[in-house]
Amino acid sequence: MAADVVVVGAGIVGASIALQLARRGVGDVLLLDAAGPAAGMSGRSFRQVRTHYSNEVTTRLAHRGIEILRGWGEHVGVGDSGFEPVGYLLAVAGDQADGCAANVALGRSLGVRTELIPAERLHEVEPLLAADGLACGAWEPDSGLIDPVKVTLAATVAAQMSGARTLFGSPARALRAGRDRVTGVVTGDGDIHAGTVVLAVGPWAPRLLAGAGIDLGMRLHTLELSVLRRPPGVAGLTTAVTHAPSGLVARCDSGPFAVAVAYPAEAVEPELPQDAQVAADAEPRLRRALAAGLPALASAEVITTIAGVYDVTPDWHPMLGPWPGVDGLYLAVGFSGHGLKLAPAVGEAVADELAGRAPAIDISPLRPAAAPRPLRFAYGPGARA
């Protein structure tokens, strides 16, 4: 089998890239996945999208990504994104107030509708949020929630309608690589020859790249996501909110439910994505974070908890572009928890580059590199970037 471009990985990033490649007429495009659309981490996502970032490139990508997600029918025309305009609130303590203000100013300079809100007004946005110890918050009314499975499926179908082929249930075993060039993919069903391989496999990238002698320094971080049933008589969350001091991220959901994540102080790093497990301290950690940030939910019933992983690069930013010294390989990996919001715009930018065009958003600051890149961190290296 052969294709001009093989996109490996049919999560939200890979499907977005395949769609935009097909729409640009970049030859014969094949989307390859071990299982099917959104079968990996895209299907285990928290669903939240926001534009609050420390660097222009990620702010622009997120802003454009949400524009596409909000106007899915106009931009894609197949299915829908499940977008819910519930907004996003990031609440920080005094030690992070300057960084928060700088990120709000950056966003506003790039056309993002965002506002810096003092602590005494945070309850106007989210009444359940405890203001004790908080200095301010960044509020984004145009952000919200999406359905990543719907997005991935719709992008895949739209790619097929634009001429892309798909091959699901065929795991990529290795990259076909010579000394300085990748020429295709080895699968369980045989070799696929390709002029370009776009690797968009998230946390499965390190193993595939190791066989080609490439080490991105990527680590896997386990994260647990819990579905809660709020206590009787307690109002529901109205938005998606991060309570930075406790490491809590929570969002509204349908009916009496909410969804929450409590980041651990020390990351658990499984060797493989499938090794991720819910830690023994996951529920106690979550309840401590809820008591600090959303005390009305501290006694909520935990309905279920699942574990997934972030694919974390040394600087917590994705790697987009060729690996130095290796032809035929384009990386779109290491999204470090940012994939949902960035994916639609990354699809456009990557497809433009592979079509020989200059992207509307300059993604050169995210070029793959062996060492951390000169990127700004308002809150230190981490998932908020």
Structure tokens at 376: 């700004």
**pLDDT tens digits in sequence order for the chain, 385 residues long:** 999 999 999 999 999 999 999 999 999 999 999 999 999 999 999 999 999 999 999 999 999 999 999 999 999 999 999 999 999 999 999 999 999 999 999 999 999 999 999 999 999 999 999 999 999 999 999 999 999 999 999 999 999 999 999 999 999 999 999 879 999 999 989 999 999 999 999 999 999 999 999 999 999 999 999 999 999 999 999 999 999 999 999 999 999 999 999 999 999 999 999 999 999 999 999 999 999 999 999 999 999 999 999 999 999 999 999 999 999 999 999 999 999 999 999 999 999 999 999 999 999 999 999 888 999 999 988 888 7
Distance of alpha carbon 102 from alpha carbon 84, whole angstroms: 27
- Give the count of alpha carbons within 13 A of 376, CB side only: 14
Is the CB of residue 87 less than 8 Å from the CB of residue 143?
yes
Angle of CA points 151, 309, 248, to nearest 5°: 90
Beta-carbon contacts of residue 167 (< 8 Å; ≥ 6 apart): 1, 30, 31, 32, 33, 187, 189, 192
Q: Which residue has the tokens 């715009």?
A: 345
pTM of the model: 0.97
CA–CA distance, 165 with 145 (Å, rounded to integer): 29
**Alpha-carbon gap, residue 220 to 52, rounded angstroms:** 23
Which element (helix H / strand E) includes 100?
A: helix 97-109
- List pLDDT tens digits, range 113-135: 999 999 999 999 999 999 999 99
Q: Are 305 and 282 in contact (CB under 8 A)?
A: yes
HSE value, Cβ hemisphere, 13 Å, CA-based, for 103: 31
**Residue among 94, 86, 88 at smallest CA distance from 53:** 88
Contact 343, 16 (CB under 8 A): yes
